Structure 1
Amino acid sequence: MLDFRTETFLTVCQTMNFTAAARQLNITQPAVSQHIHFLEEQYHTSLFLYRNKQLSLTRSGKILYKHLLTMKNDEKAIMEELKSTYSGIETLSIGVTMTIGEYAIIDKLANFLIHHPEINIHLHYGNTSELLNLLESGQICMAVVEGNYPKEDYSHQKYSTEDYIAVCAASHHFLKDHPHTVKDLVEERLLVREKDSGTRNILEQSLTARGLRISDFIHYTEVENMHTIIGLLKKDCGISFLYKIAVENELHSGILKEIPLDDFKMQHDFDIIWEKNSIYTDKYLSICEEFI
């Protein structure tokens, strides 16, 4: 079990306030200060800076936070592993983004479940940002993400590489005949995912590289569900940019069509990620081999 002073340090890192940390831990503020001072003495370094009434982590504090948080989450995993020795059943919590969960993981997940009846899976859905928070809090042990994330902070394996395309209804008539570039589409109604969605983040970065923004589209509709976007595309309610894997059936059947653009040919990796330096890295790599 991690030292109680470690728990104090992690709580201060999360609240960035000694008083709030004391309240959350149900101890006094002087006790919080004492615990932090003990750790600074033990590690021979300053962990926090206090400037302009604002608390922040030093470089050493950031390093310690990252490693102690991983140790805390590994401890949770150890407790779950010990429980499984009695029941013979292991629980694996995995996070997935909406696109991956709905279109890219079902076959591989089914195959994994068939070959591992001793494992219960808890599948969490969320955008990339939400899944990173779940990893940090230890609520999931792995995540399969489509959006961008700080790769240097996580261990990761490529899950797949997917085409990212412009799409519309097969019968769609463009306001500007024969569009050849993304800019030619700004008069169309854009169907787009919500902010912080991995699918949207990729689009925003691609538009930025071309000097454009989502707000440059005269009309746009923000939708928090990929099925709804696809349904609206089928009804010819606009255009969208999304992963080809999400509309393969509709493209194959001729209900939807890809919009060929001279300046938009894009692919993006889906990655499996977990906490860096986890003692369970070998186990997670083994799981990756079955999913990839």
Structure 2
Amino acid sequence: MLDRRYKTLAVLAKTLSYTKTAQHLFITQPAVSQQISNLEQELEVKLVAKNGVHIHLTSAGEQLVQYVDRILLENEHVLQQIRTNSEEPIIKIGATYSLSTFLLPRLIKNLLPTTTKIHTLIDNTAEILTALRQGEVELGLVEGNFDKNEFDAITIQNEEFIGVTSQKNPLLDKTTITIADLLPEVLLIRESGSGTRAIFANWLATQNYQINEFNQQIEIANPTTIIELLKSDVGISFMYKSLIKSELDKSTLVELPLDGFKITHPINLIFLKESYFAKYYTEIAKKLSN
């Protein structure tokens, strides 16, 4: 178990107030100051700095708090399993909107023989990462970018990322399409924080373009809504090929022959760095990869 001084530092990092930290921990303000001072002396590094009447964590302090938060979450996870007195764990999984459609159902089906206690959270990549940090989920199915110093990852599969539109779009009369051809189109795009949006935006940047250069942009959080609009002959979009396999097979939607656009992106199962449950999570990833 962690020394109480580390827990005090973790609380102080959230409150940025010795008074509020003392109130939260039911100790005196001088006790908080003494614990932080003792910890700094023991580690021989400055953890908290002052700027006038305000305080902030130093770079070393922030790194230490990230580690402490991970340990506290792991402790709570272990204790929760001990309290339930059960060998059957509750698996809490976060998945992005896109992956919840074609990959999360497969994962749940594969897990059912070993557990019936599965909780899910569906959101964009940024929110799934936050949920992992806060212990709301243990695993995240994401396609977006993440800090590899903060999370461990197991690649489940590589997924083809394509441009798509209705089969009735006059753009398809062209043998090949350039970005300039797309700019007058209605771009159906995911919201900020979405891994799908980030992939497309990053590719555009390599071509010296930006999303805001499209004449019309409609932000939609739900990929199902985007697909329905596309099928109604509204605009263009970019998404994972598996998400619209049925529509492509029926030719209700068609891949855009965009010149120079060839993206395959890894789908990852991620969890907190150096987790105590890493071996267990790896077994789950194997089930999903098979």
TM exceeding 0.5: yes
Distance apart, 1:178 and its partner CA: 5.1
Change (3 A) 1:271 1:53: farther
In 1, the alpha carbon distance for the partners of 2:23 and 2:66 equals 23
Aligned match of 1:236: 233
Pick from 145, 159, 166 the counterpart of residue 148 of structure 1. Answer: 145
SS at match of 2:192: coil
- Superposed, 1:191-210 pairs within 5 Å as 191-210=188-207
SS at match of 2:117: strand
**Amino acid in structure 2 at the alignment position of 1:159:** I
TM-score (norm 1): 0.91
Aligned match of 1:137: 134
Q: Which moved more, 1:101-110 or 1:231-240?
A: 101-110
In 2, the alpha carbon distance for the partners of 1:218 and 1:76 equals 50
In 2, the alpha carbon distance for the partners of 1:75 and 1:67 equals 12
Q: Which moved more, 1:62-71 or 1:90-99?
A: 62-71
After superposition, the C-alpha distances for 1:224-267 in whole angstroms (9 at most, x for unaligned) are 11110000000011000111111111001110000011221111
Distance apart, 1:279 and its partner CA: 1.7
Aligned match of 1:283: 280
Aligned match of 2:216: 219
Contact 1:175 1:188 (8 Å CA) reproduced: no
Aligned match of 1:4: 4
- Superposed, 1:45-124 pairs within 5 Å as 45-51=45-51, 55-85=55-85, 87-113=86-112, 115-117=113-115, 119-124=116-121
1:174 aligns with 2:171: yes
SS at match of 1:151: coil
Structure 2 unmatched runs, 5+: none
In 1, the alpha carbon distance for the partners of 2:247 and 2:15 equals 47
After superposition, the C-alpha distances for 1:116-168 in whole angstroms (9 at most, x for unaligned) are 13x41111112111111111111211111111111222111101111111000
In 2, the alpha carbon distance for the partners of 1:263 and 1:200 equals 18
Structure 1 unmatched runs, 5+: none
In 2, the alpha carbon distance for the partners of 1:280 and 1:65 equals 20
Change (3 A) 1:126 1:22: farther
In 1, the alpha carbon distance for the partners of 2:26 and 2:171 equals 62
Identity of aligned residues (%): 33
What is the number of equivalent residue pairs in this alignment?
Answer: 289
**Amino acid in structure 1 at the alignment position of 2:15:** T
Pick from 149, 161, 167 the counterpart of residue 158 of structure 2. Answer: 161
Distance apart, 1:34 and its partner CA: 2.0
SS at match of 1:61: helix
RMSD of the TM alignment (CA)? Answer: 2.1
Q: Which moved more, 1:157-166 or 1:170-179?
A: 170-179
Change (3 A) 1:265 1:44: same
Q: Which moved more, 1:49-58 or 1:121-130?
A: 49-58
Contact 1:163 1:243 (8 Å CA) reproduced: yes
SS at match of 1:140: coil
1:255 aligns with 2:256: no
SS at match of 2:157: strand
SS at match of 1:268: strand
Contact 2:190 2:223 (8 Å CA) reproduced: yes
Distance apart, 1:89 and its partner CA: 3.3
Distance apart, 1:210 and its partner CA: 1.3
In 2, the alpha carbon distance for the partners of 1:148 and 1:56 equals 27
Distance apart, 1:175 and its partner CA: 9.8
Contact 2:12 2:18 (8 Å CA) reproduced: yes
Change (3 A) 1:247 1:175: closer
SS at match of 2:34: helix
